[in-house]
């Protein structure tokens, strides 16, 4: 008999791969696992089950971080294990009912109380061999009331927002383009959208420097894995400041434009079912015409600067006063002055 433990972890439970203590206890006998995602009080879990703690990783407090536990394994019987980390609990037992019972007991006892939160998104990271994602949570104040939404984006924005939400909830794939000069609130609005759709959608953010990931061969495998784990969610990809990737195809961006076309409305889109939201600072007139084709384009929204009266209403809500100006961007309203008032260092010869 040959036992290959090359892909088995000593601590972490990975998808479909129980770790060493579980495999050692069950061998070739019946083994069933039950998994539940959530948020758990690992410190209390350790305190109240210290005698059963079989594997653990502890990060000690330092200047950069607080002390905390991670990757905990409890042995509650000869063939009864519970694995827990910040995001999940997994029970291992000889029967499905026993595994489910272990998870139910631990989840009910050690779940963290719900606190108001905004949405969240997964930051996609890549290296030479793997594509991974790191979850980033947003604060509750990123979700705006209808009144505040209209103050930020002008009268009628609430209705437009609800129309877009309806389209994103009904469509499986397609392209959304948010156009506007820097500071007009495109990213601010996307944070709000993440909070509004957090129950139905899962958001992924690809940094501008990593847009080349769209053309990687293993990108499809990454989405297939995500789809297996989050089968009930709609997937939305955020491409911020993606002007170069959407411009009319040339030698420098041909692969990126083609990848977005295929992901948004090609044969690949039927399999991956991705919604793509792009923000741009350029004009839509500069975008590759194929991206704007009806049926592929869910929405194109121009984020304009607020006129002076609209800016004053928002500033009063924020407790700011604005000097007279023709118009303001959201960033300038929050700063409390027009960008032209910023004192910039002079470059060149003084006169």
The CATH number linked to 219 is 3.40.50.300
Residue of 232 and 350 predicted with greater confidence: 232
Q: Is 157 found in the same domain as 250?
A: yes
Which residue carries 């156009």 as its tokens? 179
Q: Is 319 found in the same domain as 294?
A: no
Q: How many CB atoms lie within 10 A of CB 18?
A: 20
| pLDDT score at 131 | 85
CA atoms lying within 13 Å on the CB side of residue 197: 25
- Residue pair 204/122 in contact by the 8 Å Cβ criterion: yes
| pLDDT score at 128 | 76
How far apart CA 214 and CA 151 sit, in angstroms, is 36
Q: Is 223 found in the same domain as 332?
A: no
Question: Is 283 among the domain residues?
Answer: yes
Count up the domains in the chain and report the number.
Answer: 3
How far apart CA 26 and CA 94 sit, in angstroms, is 8
To the question of pTM greater than 0.75 for the whole model, the response is no
Confidence of residue 64 (pLDDT cuts 50, 70, 90): low
pLDDT tens track for 47-61? 999 999 998 888 887
232: pLDDT strictly greater than 80 = yes
Q: Is 248 found in the same domain as 173?
A: yes
66: pLDDT strictly greater than 70 = no
Residue 71: which domain range? 20-110
Q: Token digits for 29?
A: 């006998």
Q: Is 134 found in the same domain as 104?
A: no
Q: Calculate the average pLDDT of the chain.
A: 83
Q: Is 89 found in the same domain as 126?
A: no
Confidence of residue 92 (pLDDT cuts 50, 70, 90): very high
Q: Is 52 found in the same domain as 129?
A: no
Question: Is 351 among the domain residues?
Answer: no
Q: Is 312 found in the same domain as 278?
A: no
Question: Is 347 among the domain residues?
Answer: no
DSSP state of 290: G
Confidence of residue 340 (pLDDT cuts 50, 70, 90): low
Q: Is 285 found in the same domain as 213?
A: yes
pLDDT tens track for 9-25? 555 655 445 677 788 88
CA nearest 230: which of 31, 87, 127?
A: 87
Which helix (H) or strand (E) is 36 found in, with range?
strand 32-37
Name the least confident of 63-77, 191-205, 247-261, 293-307: 247-261
Q: Is 175 found in the same domain as 277?
A: yes
- Residue pair 52/72 in contact by the 8 Å Cβ criterion: no
């Amino acid at each position: 008999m040959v036992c290959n433990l090359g892909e088995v972890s000593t601590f972490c439970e990975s998808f479909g791969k129980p770790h060493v203590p579980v495999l050692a206890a069950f061998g070739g006998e019946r083994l069933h696992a039950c998994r539940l995602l959530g948020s758990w009080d690992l410190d209390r879990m350790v305190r109240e089950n210290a005698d059963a703690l079989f594997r653990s990783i502890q990060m000690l407090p330092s200047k950069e971080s607080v002390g905390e536990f991670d990757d905990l394994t409890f042995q509650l019987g000869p063939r009864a294990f519970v694995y827990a980390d910040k995001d999940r609990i997994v029970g291992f037992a000889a029967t499905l009912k026993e595994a489910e019972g272990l998870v139910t007991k631990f989840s009910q006892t050690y779940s963290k109380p719900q606190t108001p939160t905004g949405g969240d998104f997964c930051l996609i990271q890549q290296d030479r061999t793997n594509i991974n994602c790191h979850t980033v949570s947003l604060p509750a104040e990123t979700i705006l009331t209808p009144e505040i939404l209209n103050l930020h984006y002008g009268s009628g924005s609430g209705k437009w927002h609800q129309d877009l939400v309806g389209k994103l909830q009904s469509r499986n794939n397609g392209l959304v383009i948010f156009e506007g000069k820097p500071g007009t609130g495109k990213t601010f609005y996307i944070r709000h959208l993440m909070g509004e759709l957090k129950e139905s959608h899962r958001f992924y953010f690809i940094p501008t420097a990593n847009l080349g990931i769209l053309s990687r061969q293993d990108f499809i495998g990454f989405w297939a894995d995500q789809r297996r784990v989050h089968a009930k969610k709609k997937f939305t990809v955020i491409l911020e400041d993606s002007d170069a990737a959407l411009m009319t195809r040339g030698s420098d961006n041909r692969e990126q434009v083609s990848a977005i076309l295929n992901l948004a409305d090609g044969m690949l889109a039927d399999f991956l079912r991705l919604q793509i939201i792009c923000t741009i600072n350029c004009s839509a007139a500069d975008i590759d015409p194929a991206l704007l084709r009806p049926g592929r384009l869910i929405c194109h929204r121009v984020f304009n600067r607020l006129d002076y009266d609209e800016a004053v209403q928002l500033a009063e809500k924020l407790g700011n006063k604005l000097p007279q100006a023709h118009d303001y961007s959201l960033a300038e309203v929050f700063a409390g002055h027009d960008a032209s008032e910023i004192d910039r260092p002079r470059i060149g010869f003084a006169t």
